[in-house]
Structure 1
Amino acid sequence: MELKNKRVLVVGLGKSGIAAAMFLRQQGAQVTVSDARSATALAKEIPALLDAGIMVEAGGHGLLTFRRQDLIVISPGVPLDTPEVKQVIGYGMPVIGELELASRFLKGRIVAITGSNGKTTTTTLIGKILAEAQLLTLVGGNIGTPVIDLIPKSTDETIDVLEVSSFQLETIEQFRPWIAVVLNITPDHLDRHGSFENYAAMKTRITELQQADDFLILNAEDKPTQMVAVKTKAQIFWFSPRRPIKQGAFVHGESIVFIPREGAKAEPIMPVAEIPLKGSHNVENVLAAVCAARLAGVPAEKIRSAVTSFKAVEHRLEFVRSLHGVEYFNDSKATNVDATMKAIAAFPGGVHLILGGKDKDSDYTLLVPLLRERVKAVYTIGSAAEKIERQLHGVVKMVEAGTMDAAVREAQKVAVAGDVVLLAPACSSFDQFENYEHRGRVFRQIVQELS
């Protein structure tokens, strides 16, 4: 991809947008960035961009700015139906995302992981397994490190382990993973994609360009994920915590086993009891990681060693502290209803649940059975609070907390030894926090300050 002297516009100044702008400038492109936020809001970012010779448009998008480009690179947070983006697509101007741009320059083979829930845990675990097996491994993507920042370190021998979101997959053209993993597909980001069908179609794009010598790993217990199988040319490997399968990883008795090809003997990998992570959903994440690691050539003993020493990823059912016999867990990454259901299910009962944030057109009534079975009280925060309270009225005790600080302190007042205070909000964070990490850090700080 020739970029020297090309006029390129980067839309959206999130972490990946800034990384893309800097990379494009290093490649000799004439770069402009455009963001709807004001110059005041972007005060931290603008000086470095200007110093690099990048033009900055803040406080809105100008259609002329868009039309004067050779290429437009949009950040994952920018919808394709943004009026200016929609118009230039109609004019036939090339529009790609940071993932697609980076993949044109990234060396080595790609292991890409997507799904509604479990992406970060599985991506981190696969990266750990491969690295401990002495394979040259880079980890990035939606997990926090922009893919484009991996380019300088990548080589032909590198395995690039990437967490990819539906937003990133929306703008791919040539992105082709060697190993693709689809963990699950449950309703999420409906405010962006419009319908579950559109959202699922974006997830399916991960295998769109795979060929017969590539691999696709799918969840045998998730019906929407199973549908991806009819869309691929890749070799399919399945994982299941419930039943034997012909090719892939599954739980047999009390152990995880792997079958490398149909008709082959099952290879023992490790006892399920050695998985250090809470929740049955993490068994699925480990099974997916086992498939990816074995396909990458990692032996069973290396996989077992890496899994047993793996610690919960920050903001994913992360243990914060125990106070007076009450345990506090941070699952700020539970940004949709399905993730919150999995978090609740990780505890037998006595849960004080903090719910709320920015609604993503979610159906909170799906929580009702678990709330009745395991939750003592729900503490609502953020702009989604009214909708949550309306949909869950009469199911369980509801406390209109409003803020994180109030929610934690209200829960502390009534929680008794053996109970759990759980942040698993089922919403995005952008009404009160910068992102889910910021929300999780605030929760942790409040909990640590409790006396």
Structure 2
Amino acid sequence: MNKLMDFPYTHILVLGLAKSGTAAAHLLLANEKKVRVNDMKTKENDAIVTELKMMGAEVIVGSHPVSVLEDIEIIVKNPGIPYDNSILTEAVRRDIPIITEIELAGQLVEGSIIGITGSNGKTTTTTLTTEILRESKHPVKVAGNIGLVATEVAQTLAENESLVLELSSFQLLGIEKFKPKIAVLLNIFEAHLDYHKTMENYKEAKFNLFKNQTEDDYLIYNADDLQIVEAVKQASSKKIPFSINKRLEKGIWANDESIFFKDEKIIDRKDIVLVGAHNLENILASIAAAKLCGANNDGIYKVLTTFTGVKHRLQFVDNINDRLFYNDSKATNVLATQKALSSFEQETILLAGGLDRGNEFGDLLPFLQHVKAMITFGETKEKLKKIAEEANIETIILTKDIEDAVRKAYSVSAANDVILLSPACASWDQYRTFEERGDMFIKAVHKLL
């Protein structure tokens, strides 16, 4: 098991358990640190409390008393806990550093880290990069925001293995020395402002991805995103741009027929099975990251000619009586739904709605030309109804949940229609996660059979 080699703190507070907090506590205890754990939702008689106490941790649950900060040198916080939490605001006042377990994971890895972030496309790019490396026989593991705790995976990483990390802004906000050998910055647009408060704060968190990189590292970035082009000027690493709009002599790019890495043709686009212009960007970034890590063109070709998408991310579900069902439950914001709608030219029935974060949906209007019907649900169903009316969509149906929406969508569909779940909203008004929402969609589609 890999050990923490450069972590000079002795008294640590782990704030928030869940998967990442529990893993961080285990890691710190295994490295003979003095660990105090504080979690609001966990109960005193929960098994994890007993386990951590038996391992030597002090565990305080059910509240956040300021006394948990006594003698603490650094806080490892769960990424989902906002910085206006009372313990964190007091920690800032006391100049106590605050990190996430991603910082710990970075100190466990002797091989290469490929760190991938962006407002959209992280999971697809992370998965593609990992699969390409595997098909190229390069030792690799994957972790991070994709669902596997980074510190757990990093502890088991061999010296010759690479670690592909999907990184959220929440995770990147809490780093000190963490740096990937290869950084991938996909895109930036307004998101998670309920957490970050301002767009500048959000961008700063994302740009932490490359802030510690040196000239020995690589930064793969979207040359079609002007905010990113401006931001990467401050990076010290070697820059590898990608573009779906222009030729790049020193980067990776695509024209209407093929994909090229610099002047080397990699694959014809007609051979790629993953749909959507946004996925073409993800593909370019994945190829660049994998090639820099030692992937070969055979591995790239095999993955891109067979990979049909990540679950809940423009995932093809089924063809029922010539209706094509796609699950894009991960589309928790307007930009993601714009990209999903842009992936199809045939008539589409859009299922959308969810948590109301106070935003409007006017930016969807230019992307609704092929939408013949909109089926809405959740807290935002009335807002989306108004946008559908502005777009002169003839069929607009308000429903109570995903299952109801699928039935109604099918009832107004015709052969060759796309029936697309792309909510443009988070799921938390009705479903615990976007995965749960997507699974309900899949079950509802299968019930139609």
TM class by smaller structure: over 0.9
Matched with 1:193 is: 196
Q: Which moved more, 1:149-158 or 1:83-92?
A: 149-158
Corresponding residue for 1:430?
A: 428
Instruction: Letter of the 2:374 partner, please give it.
Output: V
SS in structure 1 at match of 2:155 = helix
Q: Are 2:216 and 1:213 aligned? A: yes
Q: C-alpha displacement at 1:38, in angstroms?
A: 5.7
Which of 355, 358, 380 is matched with 1:384 structurally? 380
The answer to whether structure 1 residue 180 and structure 2 residue 189 are counterparts is: no
Q: Deviations over 1:372-420 (max 9, x none)?
A: x021222222233344445555333432213112211221221121112
Q: In 2 relative to 1, CA 33–391 (structure 1 residues): closer, same or farther, beyond 3 Å?
A: farther
Post-superposition CA distance 1:276-304 (Å, at most 9, x none) = 10111111111111211222232323322
- Relative to structure 1, the CA distance from residue 32 to residue 352 in structure 2 (aligned partners, 3 Å threshold; closer, same or farther) is farther
Does residue 134 of the first structure (1) align with residue 137 of the second (2)? yes
Match of 1:15 in 2: 19
Superposition map of 1:78-227 within 5 A: 78-227=81-230
What does 1:3-82 align with in structure 2 at a 5 Å threshold?
A: 6-37=10-41, 39=43, 46=49, 48-49=51-52, 52-82=55-85
Of 159-168 and 361-370, deviating more is 361-370
Q: Which amino acid aligns with 1:103?
A: G
Q: Does the 8 A contact of 2:126 with 2:164 survive in 1? A: yes
Per-residue deviation, 1:345 = 1.1
* Shift in Å, 1:63: 1.4
Q: 1:10 to 1:194 in 2, by over 3 A?
A: same
Shift of 1:58: 3.4
For the structure 1 residues 389 and 52, does the alpha-carbon distance in structure 2 shift closer, same or farther, using more than 3 Å as the test? farther
- TM normalised by structure 2 equals 0.92
Q: Which residue of 1 aligns with 2:402?
A: 404
Secondary structure of 2:201's aligned partner: helix
- The aligned residue for residue 229 of structure 1 is 232
Give, in whole Å, the separation in 2 of the partners of 1:369 and 1:271: 30
Seen in structure 2, the aligned counterparts of structure 1 residues 430 and 35 have a Cα distance that, compared at 3 Å, is farther
Structure 1 residue 68 displacement after superposition: 4.4
Identity of aligned residues (%): 38
Question: Which ranges in structure 1 are unaligned for 5 or more consecutive residues?
Answer: 260-265
Deviation for aligned residue 1:361: 4.7
Matched, 1:340 2:337: yes
- Return closer, same or farther for 1:376/1:37 CA change in 2, 3 Å cut-off: farther
TM-score between the two structures when normalised by the length of structure 1 = 0.92
Aligned length: 443
Moved >6 Å (runs of 4+): 2-5
Please give the alpha-carbon distance, in whole angstroms, between the structure 2 residues aligned to 1:3 and 1:224: 34
Separation in structure 2 between the aligned mates of residue 315 and residue 37 of structure 1, nearest angstrom: 28
Give me the whole-angstrom Cα distance separating, in 2, the residues matched to 1:411 and 1:86. Answer: 47
- Asked if structure 2 preserves the Cα contact closer than 8 Å seen for 1:378 and 1:398, the reply is yes
Q: 1:17 to 1:387 in 2, by over 3 A?
A: farther
Structure 1 range deviating more: 71-80 or 15-24: 15-24
Mean alpha-carbon deviation: is it higher for 436-445 or for 380-389?
380-389
Q: Counterparts in 2 of 1:276-355, with a 5 A limit?
A: 276-355=273-352
Gaps of 5+ in 2: none
Q: CA deviation at 1:427?
A: 1.6
- Shifted more, 303-312 versus 379-388: the winner is 379-388
SS of corresponding position for 1:227: helix
Contact kept in structure 2, 1:385 and 1:402, CA below 8 Å: no
2:390 aligned counterpart, secondary structure? coil
